[in-house]
Structure 1
Amino acid sequence: MAPAITLAADAPTLSAANTGFMLICSALVMLMTPGLAFFYGGMVRVKSTLNMLMMSFISLGIVTVLWVLYGFSMAFGTDSGSVIGWNSDWVGLSNIGLTELWDGYTIPVFVFLVFQLMFAVLTPALISGALADRVKFTAWALFIALWATVVYFPVAHWVWGSGGWAFELGVIDFAGGTAVHINAGAAALGVILVIGKRVGFKKDPMRPHSLPLVMLGAALLWFGWFGFNAGSWLGNDDGVGALMFVNTQVATAAAVLGWLAYEKIRHGAFTTLGAASGAVSGLVAITPAGGAVSPLGAIAVGAVAGVLCAMAVGLKYRFNYDDSLDVVGVHLVGGILGSLLIGFFATGKGQSDVEGLFYGGGLDQFWKQCAGVFGVLAYSLVVSAVLALLLDKTIGMRVSEDDEVAGIDQAEHAETAYDFSGAGGGAARTAAGAPVAPTESKKVDA
């Protein structure tokens, strides 16, 4: 058969609707990073709150600059050996036309790259939850820069870049089950195995200091995740983006119920922390699968993730690794579940005609999913551990034991999250910190 000829009239043209939709989705994904900061910030003790917020926020600064300089080129440039991409015209983003379209789609390159930038920002921030209370801020900033360069950018190319080995193999990852969640979860495990446990792990109470902050963060993540997932189809001309939007809501709801049911049976109570964690586990699990499964399949994916992730968070006590805020139990386990369940629940009526085992497709897709899952997991785990070891042996990854016990906020940031100096009748203070007279105090308080 002679090759089809693409006429100029058939070439994609810029769609204002899709462009606007993708810009909104990009903003929603950006919101997920501060949402994550609140989620993690509420889960730590008071003395670590600001450090936890800053570990997420600094990713916005570092990864954004790296993405402009070379990250976008490495992730989505011309393939080299199915391992990495590169396009010198994209270095610094100085040779991209304002209306130049992205690879057969109806949105500008700039819109695609800023959408993907927000994924690149969020992914290393996810790792930070496993390292709460004990990592130097300078070491963390350097780790982000190195990790994004040698782990995230290449893995994004493997999974989503044309020519990447996972992409060419046919691994399905709609919005980041492997590239984001397994990648971050495996990295978290690699780093904590190097830096060790917090002082007092399994001995001192390390309960969340603000569950309202945790719930606020979870709500912001849930809200932003609609952009994260539905936007990954880069438009909605065929309804797949809408399917992903629906499945995101459905799976998350099912995961909340699954986590709470397990928690009630296992521990005798329905907790707000469990509801928030269940929501995140469902969001993680549906991220790779939501474009391939039906809403009923999404219920199954979410319910399975809610129960199994709730079970997995306790593994750190059994195996004695200190995953402070359950990044391994939620993101690594949830990402694995969501990615592998595609091999069972893919209907062939969503993003592709691939059918899973329960829809007559056999196990072919399942084995492809296994290759993607365990390839990314092994690479991220090993390389992340090596990076942490290099930093630990050079500048040191951990704060001193005294600083950890006294509080990392004061040691690393010279601030505290809450000012209680005016409580209990103590002298009020001006913004500069100097005591004021009682009459002046009344004026200030007013």
Structure 2
Amino acid sequence: MNEKNSKRRYTVPFIVIAAVAVLALIPLKSSTTFSELEVSHADTAWMLMAAALVFLMTPGLAFFYGGMVRYKNLVSTLIQSFITLGIISVVWVLVGFSLAFGDSLGGFIGNPLSFFMFKDVGFQPNPAFSATIPFALFAVFQLKFAIITPALITGGVAERIRFSSLLVFIVLFSLFIYAPLAHWTWHPEGFLRKWGVLDFAGGTVVHISAGFAALSGAIFLKKRKESGNDNPTNIPYILLGTGLLWFGWFGFNAGSALAADELAVKAFLNTNLASAMAMVTWMLTDGARGKKRSAVGAAVGAVVGLVAITPAAGFVTVGQSIFIGFAASLVSYFAMRLKSRSSIDDTLDVFPCHGIGGITGMILTGLFAEEVGLIHGDPTIFLYHLLALVIVSLFTFGGSFLLYKLTDLILPMRVTETQEARGLDITQHGEVATDVPSSL
């Protein structure tokens, strides 16, 4: 593409972002206050830390994914995660938070004007969501979940997607898939929440949605021309990314208690144990099959455990969390094996790890959840979980496929064969991971 066409492609987005910047200067009159509620300084301090921990997960994911791709696509893969920190932050303040948590329209979506440009998102608690922390802090915490979800999807379409098209898709996914799911599941009037569906920290909203969107994208974009040669570029990056993800996940899950209390401690403990068990199970499964116990396998197993415990973290016992890590590790392990024999090119196994891991976690949440799980004798919540999984799976897979088609009509989504062969670092970004002199 010549320089003139490249400039034209970004003219309209630049005008849009400039308009948003100017719009942000216009003061919006607040119409709602909650002055009678007192902020808990302890809860606020913890939630500030939790939000920062979840923020760290996105750079961690960038390293985790970046270490797995070919060297010529390393920068591209890193920036595909990093860019969500910028794009989704703007979209969330503009209208995303309103769609997810605004006044409910039939339990399906929030009123886009409720918190437009963070109107009425102030520094006092909103009792509908948390009575002890500033409403703005709740909104920022939820923003971090909205950021990492589209970043997860990029692993399924890595090494062949055009960067500018990805930006369009990320915005569309945030507005038309993520925001409705968050509303259904976490808004007090959301229809899944009213059914009693339990998702403590995002098994459905984040991981199942990302898994099915990645699967949909892999099918839409078809296989890479060089698929099958997937030796990791940088295993230390993968381990670094895993460590950052594991560390950040304590904010992801324990922070979802929205308070510095016993529930947060319970979620923190369960998160660590499930991940530890899943990592060990993955490595021992490799050994039982006569394979070497790889560092990459340990990292993937740990992440699968984190995914699976996410919906259940605040609802299950320590023993149950260990079982969830064990079961999810086995299920995802063999799901990856089945996927490798198929024609679907989910580059970094997002669906077997996040999609299947999330599904396993949601099913086991319905089985074990304290007082209402199937093991306590009442099948109601368990059956609602199964129904919710069917609805969410169809919605996220089908909806994402339509969004890929729409994006492709706006901007072609797949790079050319020549660009793919040269690598996305050079063809999409004009950069290389390290500038090593040719004489070395």
Counterparts of 2:139 and 2:41, CA distance in 1: 17
Query: What amino acid maps onto 1:32 in structure 2?
Result: M
What residue in structure 1 maps to residue 253 of structure 2? 229
Counterparts of 2:90 and 2:155, CA distance in 1: 23
The Cα offsets for residues 111-155 of structure 1, whole Å up to 9 and x where unpaired, read as 000000000000000000011110000000000001101000111
Counterparts of 2:424 and 2:312, CA distance in 1: 38
Query: What amino acid maps onto 2:153 in structure 1?
Result: I
* Matched-pair contact (CA < 8 Å) for 1:52–1:132: yes
What residue in structure 1 maps to residue 342 of structure 2? 319
Task: Say whether residues 1:159 and 2:182 are aligned partners.
Answer: no
Instruction: Give the alignment partner of residue 230 of structure 2, picking from 206, 210, 230.
Output: 206
- In structure 2, stretches of 5+ residues that fail to align are 1-35
Counterparts of 1:178 and 1:97, CA distance in 2: 28
TM-score by length of 2: 0.89
Give 1:389 shift: 1.5
* Correspondences of 1:114-193 after superposition (within 5 Å): 114-193=140-219
* Matched-pair contact (CA < 8 Å) for 1:257–1:306: no
What is the SS of the residue equivalent to 1:213? helix
Give 1:87 shift: 5.9
Task: Say whether residues 1:379 and 2:395 are aligned partners.
Answer: yes
What residue in structure 2 maps to residue 369 of structure 1? 385
Instruction: Give the alignment partner of residue 343 of structure 1, picking from 354, 366, 385.
Output: 366
What residue in structure 1 maps to residue 297 of structure 2? 274
* Matched-pair contact (CA < 8 Å) for 1:343–1:364: no
Counterparts of 2:141 and 2:127, CA distance in 1: 12
Task: Say whether residues 1:264 and 2:281 are aligned partners.
Answer: no
* Matched-pair contact (CA < 8 Å) for 1:48–1:408: yes
Instruction: Give the alignment partner of residue 244 of structure 1, picking from 267, 289, 295.
Output: 267
What residue in structure 2 maps to residue 39 of structure 1? 64
Give 1:305 shift: 0.8
Counterparts of 2:285 and 2:75, CA distance in 1: 32
The Cα offsets for residues 360-410 of structure 1, whole Å up to 9 and x where unpaired, read as 324222111112222111101001011112222442101110110111100
Query: What amino acid maps onto 2:100 in structure 1?
Result: A
* Matched-pair contact (CA < 8 Å) for 1:184–1:332: yes
Counterparts of 2:419 and 2:127, CA distance in 1: 49
Count of residues in Structure 1 that have an aligned counterpart in Structure 2:
404
* Matched-pair contact (CA < 8 Å) for 1:286–1:298: yes
* Matched-pair contact (CA < 8 Å) for 1:41–1:214: yes
Q: Choose 101-110 or 214-223, whichever is displaced more.
A: 101-110
What residue in structure 2 maps to residue 3 of structure 1? none
Give 1:86 shift: 1.6
What residue in structure 2 maps to residue 409 of structure 1? 425
Give 1:162 shift: 1.5
Task: Say whether residues 1:357 and 2:357 are aligned partners.
Answer: no
Task: Say whether residues 1:94 and 2:119 are aligned partners.
Answer: yes
TM-score by length of 1: 0.88
Give 1:12 shift: 4.6
Query: What amino acid maps onto 1:24 in structure 2?
Result: M
Query: What amino acid maps onto 2:250 in structure 1?
Result: F
Counterparts of 2:216 and 2:264, CA distance in 1: 34
What is the SS of the residue equivalent to 1:399? coil
Query: What amino acid maps onto 1:98 in structure 2?
Result: F
What is the SS of the residue equivalent to 1:290? coil
The Cα offsets for residues 183-238 of structure 1, whole Å up to 9 and x where unpaired, read as 10011111111110101223xx221100000000000000000000000010033x
Counterparts of 2:165 and 2:122, CA distance in 1: 37
Instruction: Give the alignment partner of residue 66 of structure 1, picking from 88, 91, 111.
Output: 91
What residue in structure 2 maps to residue 4 of structure 1? none
Counterparts of 1:140 and 1:75, CA distance in 2: 22
Counterparts of 2:121 and 2:272, CA distance in 1: 36
Task: Say whether residues 1:57 and 2:74 are aligned partners.
Answer: no
Instruction: Give the alignment partner of residue 20 of structure 1, picking from 24, 45, 54.
Output: 45
Give 1:261 shift: 1.4
Task: Say whether residues 1:328 and 2:354 are aligned partners.
Answer: no
Counterparts of 1:276 and 1:267, CA distance in 2: 19
- In structure 1, stretches of 5+ residues that fail to align are 1-10, 349-353, 425-446
* Matched-pair contact (CA < 8 Å) for 2:102–2:114: no
Instruction: Give the alignment partner of residue 405 of structure 2, picking from 379, 385, 389.
Output: 389
The Cα offsets for residues 260-297 of structure 1, whole Å up to 9 and x where unpaired, read as 11112225210000000000000000000111110000
Counterparts of 1:398 and 1:28, CA distance in 2: 33
Counterparts of 1:186 and 1:267, CA distance in 2: 31
Shift >4 Å, 4+ stretches: none
Work out the percentage of aligned pairs sharing the same amino acid. Answer: 44
Q: 1:178 to 1:89 in 2, by over 3 A?
A: closer
